[in-house]
Structure 1
Amino acid sequence: MGTDSVITHVVAALAVVIAASHALGAVARRLGQPSVIGQLFAGIALGPSLLGLLPGQVSELLFPKQIQPILTSLSQVALVFFLFAVGYELDLRLLRNQSAVTAVSVSGFVIPMAAGAAIVLLFPGGFASVNGGRPTGTTFVLYMAVALSITAVPVLASIIKDQGLMGSRPGTIAMASAGVIDVLSWPVLAVVLVGGEEGSVRAWAVKVALLLLYVLVMLFAVRPLLAWWMRRPGLAAARQVPLVVTVALASAWATNALGLHVIFGALLAGVVMPRLADGSPDARLLRPLQDLGGLLLPVFFAISGTAVVLGGLHSSDLLILAVICVAAVVSKVAAGSLSARGARQPWRDSLLIGVLLNTRGLTELIVLNVGLQAGIIGPRLYALLVVMALLTTAATGPLIRLLRRPADLPPDLHTDARPDGGALVPDVRPGADAAALPSSGAGTASGQ
């Protein structure tokens, strides 16, 4: 296939992917679900599970093997911009003097991790079979632990907004806790990837040392330089955005070169990016990367969906799927609910918090793709985990409507709008107890 033919196929594939993704995303939202549900279904439909079943090899005609590396590269670039925005919006000040957030976030991270490790240890043969005979040792156990611990902050924010919980006590605590859970999950996933590589103990130690050195350079060299550059008088945002894009891409390249995924460098770049005087991210810098990442994310959903081969599943895999789903749901809901109740939240609010933390979505898909690319999980287990992510995310809205009463809605949503007029952010300032802040808003509402 010549260059012109490759370009033609890439352009056509992008048109189909973006159109199908946004169309099914809109359908999902009309059905009361986050758009990520429809967008992932679009990816699955465009893959071998549906389009590949049609006569005439339509799937191969639309997505020939020659353009797969290009689409994969575009999907990784989308993740770089998305994770940079996630890192830039993280506000660790939410942990200060927040007894409810601390209790819920720690429990919502540790207990699902323990559940993920436990199901592998209890059913080693079943997981070895569904994972194509891959090793089910320490690396795999830790990976499954991380996979069950994830809560998708962007999807959660969208659900909180759609369900009218923005500004409520459960919505505020769940959003803040989900952000902390993600902060805890990424380093553990990084350790899993480093530990899963073959090599001597010395080579592993050298890689860990280089990663720590890189983090220190980003914190104590790159961050001050960025702060100095961005404080220069008369520096327009139009000149700052290219620098931000460069830093995000360069950091992603660095972590990938060190043996980790590009997402870790992108996330770290967002964390070290200087903020405004009040501690909030600069919307003039954040919005362009959010828009660019959002435009390209359908390609990531397409790549994720086409990797799901439902026809390759065995009937015996349904038992493992049931085990995964039960462990994922019970551990998240129980951890969030009981810890919130222990922090003196009402029972109904505690149950809502537990249900909200059970939301997965785009963040879970990122973790699953990393595991698939690293060879930790195979196609069959990947498909089961994607189904788990879809089911747990889709169940959140109906469960909220079942638990919530009209009286639970805040009469006045005293939320602070971002400077760009976009999504609302939590008003959980240092020194204020989240349990006593029913007027706090939810975070970013990208709908992913």
Structure 2
Amino acid sequence: MPHVMNTTELYLIAMLIIFSAPYLIWRGLKTDHYAPLVVVQIIAGILLGPGVLGAAFPAYYATVFNPQVITALNGVAWWAVMIFVFIAGLELDLHQAWEKRGETAVTSGLALIAPLALGSLAALGMLQFPGWSGPKGQTWQVVLGIGMACAVTALPILILLMEKMEILRQPIGQRILRYASLDDIAIWGVLALILLDWERVGRQAGFLVGFAVAAWAVRWLMKRLPESDRWYVALIWLAACGFAGDWSGLHFMVGAFLAGAVLDHRWFDQAKMDLFRNHILLAVMPVFFLSTGLRTQWDVGGVAVFAAAGVLLVASVAGKLAGVHLAGRILKWEKGEASVIGWLLQTKALIMIIFANILLDKQIITNEAFTALLLMAVGSTMLTTPIVKPQLARLGRLLGKSG
């Protein structure tokens, strides 16, 4: 009698595929220069989704990625991405941004507004055709959501890429983190506006008031705890904020980001934080990439999805570069400086994918629009290293410039 695999065995087969396939591609094809492992994992998630693996091997796909396995994977993915977003909020350094507020505000503002405008125009063009707006998405929400997705800078991936280029701890790296940090705050603020639910506005107001009080209490407590306890208490705080954010109708990711943003990163050892982020990327974030890939769809046609992704990529990159170059003219930067900073700031990947996941969860965009945004994020991130590395080699004098 043939053995019928149970849910546990199928779950472990799924985990085996999730971790082995991207690694073999990454090592076998030596993609690290243009596609770090994290980018290969995102691409593998798309390939393992219903649009590629599911279309090629529908029976196998339906067996391995059955509803029970997907539910189990989603549980791991939710917690993984909550921790990742929490770390992104925790790593914001608003003290540096305040010290150089004039230069930071000009650069961050223009780096956000220009791609937001171009991305919104691209979204308006997409909405002339059916298949992009979700059942609960009003036109302004879809346009603003897609526009903001084009303006996002993926702070955690930016940190990872700058570490590989050995510029993270140099003055130019710290400058770029300042610019990206302010944009990160704006992104989550706009997301809260998009998700504002007038039927639950009382809950949302209550969440914000309650959060302000709780944040004050947690900050008071954290200062008095030994560092080893702070990490554990931070996870309790994260779970509570995620629950409260989702209960209020915003989203558990908004709660996760706020949970990290109100804490002071100086309370945590930087080396341990870097290690923690890398361990999360290594051990559990690949599950999120797979669960993201399972949501990709091509129902409006593969050509249309790729065309939309191409338009959004152009809007995203051109807008970011235009905004940063304008800032460079205003602030009288050296030749080549704006190009390096602009290309690094246009990095998308994780934060944009998380942002688009939330829009999809709330049925503001369709799976097809989500797929186009996902492809745009992958393209954006793959462009960064091959373009920036040669520029840094030519413009080495910029590395020590702090603004």
For Structure 1 versus Structure 2, the TM-score category normalised by the shorter chain is 0.7 to 0.9
Provide closer, same or farther for how the CA distance between residues 311 and 118 of structure 1 changes in structure 2, counting only shifts above 3 A.
closer
Of 230, 240, 248, which residue of structure 2 is paired with 1:258?
Answer: 248
Deviations 1:323-364 (Å, cap 9, x if unpaired)? 322211111111112212321211201111111111111111
Aligned partner of 1:366 in structure 2 is 354
**How far apart, CA to CA, are the structure 2 residues paired with 1:220 and 1:21?**
42
Q: Work out whether 1:336 is the aligned partner of 2:338.
A: no
Identity in percent: 24
Shift of 1:308: 1.8
Q: Work out whether 1:216 is the aligned partner of 2:212.
A: yes
Aligned ranges for residues 194-343 of structure 1 at < 5 Å? 194=196, 197=197, 201=198, 203-228=199-224, 230=225, 235=226, 237=228, 239-275=229-265, 279=266, 281-283=268-270, 286=273, 289-290=276-277, 293-294=280-281, 295-310=283-298, 313-343=301-331
Q: What do you get for the CA RMSD once the two structures are aligned?
A: 2.8
**How far apart, CA to CA, are the structure 2 residues paired with 1:308 and 1:91?**
34
Aligned ranges for residues 19-30 of structure 1 at < 5 Å? 19-26=20-27, 27=29, 29-30=31-32
Contact 2:49 2:296 in 1 (8 A): yes
**How far apart, CA to CA, are the structure 2 residues paired with 1:214 and 1:287?**
30
Shift of 1:135: 4.4
Shift of 1:185: 0.7
Aligned partner of 2:371 in structure 1 is 383
Aligned partner of 1:116 in structure 2 is 119
Deviations 1:44-103 (Å, cap 9, x if unpaired)? 222223322344622222211222122111101001111121122211012123233222
Gaps of 5+ in 1: 415-432, 436-448
Determine helix, strand or coil for the equivalent of 2:382: helix
One-letter amino acid matched to 1:94 = Q
Provide closer, same or farther for how the CA distance between residues 365 and 135 of structure 1 changes in structure 2, counting only shifts above 3 A.
closer
One-letter amino acid matched to 1:101 = T
Aligned partner of 1:434 in structure 2 is 402
Provide closer, same or farther for how the CA distance between residues 236 and 373 of structure 1 changes in structure 2, counting only shifts above 3 A.
closer
Contact 1:81 1:292 in 2 (8 A): no
Shift of 1:43: 0.8
Range with bigger deviation, 344-353 or 157-166: 157-166
Provide closer, same or farther for how the CA distance between residues 221 and 28 of structure 1 changes in structure 2, counting only shifts above 3 A.
farther
One-letter amino acid matched to 1:157 = I
Aligned ranges for residues 147-226 of structure 1 at < 5 Å? 147-166=149-168, 170-194=172-196, 197=197, 201=198, 203-226=199-222
Shift of 1:371: 1.0
Provide closer, same or farther for how the CA distance between residues 29 and 171 of structure 1 changes in structure 2, counting only shifts above 3 A.
farther
TM-score by length of 1: 0.80
Provide closer, same or farther for how the CA distance between residues 244 and 212 of structure 1 changes in structure 2, counting only shifts above 3 A.
closer
Aligned ranges for residues 80-91 of structure 1 at < 5 Å? 80-91=82-93
Shift of 1:293: 2.6
Aligned partner of 2:60 in structure 1 is 58
**How far apart, CA to CA, are the structure 2 residues paired with 1:291 and 1:157?**
11
Q: Work out whether 1:397 is the aligned partner of 2:397.
A: no
**Count of aligned pairs:** 396
**How far apart, CA to CA, are the structure 2 residues paired with 1:87 and 1:342?**
29
Q: More helix per residue: 1 or 2? A: 2
Provide closer, same or farther for how the CA distance between residues 111 and 30 of structure 1 changes in structure 2, counting only shifts above 3 A.
closer
**How far apart, CA to CA, are the structure 1 residues paired with 2:356 and 2:50?**
19
Contact 2:200 2:249 in 1 (8 A): no
Contact 1:167 1:410 in 2 (8 A): no
Range with bigger deviation, 344-353 or 14-23: 14-23
Contact 1:37 1:390 in 2 (8 A): yes
Determine helix, strand or coil for the equivalent of 2:365: coil
Gaps of 5+ in 2: none
**How far apart, CA to CA, are the structure 1 residues paired with 2:149 and 2:337?**
26
Determine helix, strand or coil for the equivalent of 1:151: coil
Determine helix, strand or coil for the equivalent of 2:49: coil
Range with bigger deviation, 132-141 or 56-65: 132-141
Shift of 1:167: 5.5
**How far apart, CA to CA, are the structure 1 residues paired with 2:133 and 2:30?**
31
Deviations 1:144-188 (Å, cap 9, x if unpaired)? 222111001122223223345445655443222112211211121
**How far apart, CA to CA, are the structure 1 residues paired with 2:227 and 2:113?**
44
Provide closer, same or farther for how the CA distance between residues 315 and 357 of structure 1 changes in structure 2, counting only shifts above 3 A.
same
Deviations 1:359-380 (Å, cap 9, x if unpaired)? 1111111011111111111111
**How far apart, CA to CA, are the structure 2 residues paired with 1:385 and 1:191?**
20
Contact 1:28 1:34 in 2 (8 A): no
One-letter amino acid matched to 1:241 = W
Provide closer, same or farther for how the CA distance between residues 246 and 168 of structure 1 changes in structure 2, counting only shifts above 3 A.
closer
Contact 1:147 1:364 in 2 (8 A): yes
Aligned ranges for residues 97-108 of structure 1 at < 5 Å? 97-98=99-100, 99-108=102-111
Contact 1:170 1:350 in 2 (8 A): no
Aligned partner of 1:79 in structure 2 is 81
Determine helix, strand or coil for the equivalent of 2:250: coil
TM-score by length of 2: 0.88
One-letter amino acid matched to 2:212 = L
Provide closer, same or farther for how the CA distance between residues 319 and 407 of structure 1 changes in structure 2, counting only shifts above 3 A.
closer
Range with bigger deviation, 299-308 or 242-251: 242-251
**How far apart, CA to CA, are the structure 2 residues paired with 1:240 and 1:144?**
37
Determine helix, strand or coil for the equivalent of 2:35: coil
Contact 2:134 2:364 in 1 (8 A): no
Provide closer, same or farther for how the CA distance between residues 264 and 65 of structure 1 changes in structure 2, counting only shifts above 3 A.
same
